[in-house]
Chains A and B, each alone.
Chain A
């Protein structure tokens, strides 16, 4: 059984960096068949896929066009986790953020979700 545990602050000031971590148990972040994704949800934007990291002999990252200039997703093999950094946040980035695993094009495990509010 795979478990994804999210951590990170729930309040970020405008123009600062949003940082979240997703710790993995029951699988390896280096799993050659898995993708490790960040997704957010807000009333105004619905569900929005932000990006993913995947290990396929080497590390690859993929980002949504809407956040491509501001996002970094990294894997940490020593801690078996992956992280999200979203730079220069505005109140529009206020959302519930989820990490999730996809494997063979199926989203099968999700983190618990973290409400991040961007406010001064």
Chain B
């Protein structure tokens, strides 16, 4: 069974930089998996931050950026702010035309 792995939790200081990662238990993540990143606050649908590895959605601050780092997709937040405290999910497009979400990372800004 395919599992998309993320760090369960992370902590960053205000103004700091953090990189969240998204891996595959069965191999490497590449741009051909069209990685997306979502931010979610309680009671709301996920908000797309990044799609197609590094394309930022309209209205998303440029402190959010996406990339491939080694064998994983990555979301970097540069200059973290208090309202970046959220749950973050990655999503991969896998062979067979299916999507699989990561397990999510709970980010604390303190």
Contact = CB atoms under 8 A, between A and B. Distances in A.
A26 interface: no
Contacts of A39: 101
Interface residues of A, number: 25
Q: Pick from B34, B40, B99, B103 the residue with the most CB of A within 10 Å.
A: B99
A107 B1 contact: no
B interface, size bucket = 20 to 34
17 contacts: A46-B89, A47-B46, A47-B101, A49-B91, A64-B100, A98-B45, A100-B45, A102-B99, A104-B52, A105-B34, A105-B51, A106-B57, A107-B36, A107-B38, A107-B51, A108-B48, A108-B57
Interface of A: 37, 39, 46-49, 52, 54, 60, 62-65, 98, 100, 102, 104-108, 110-113
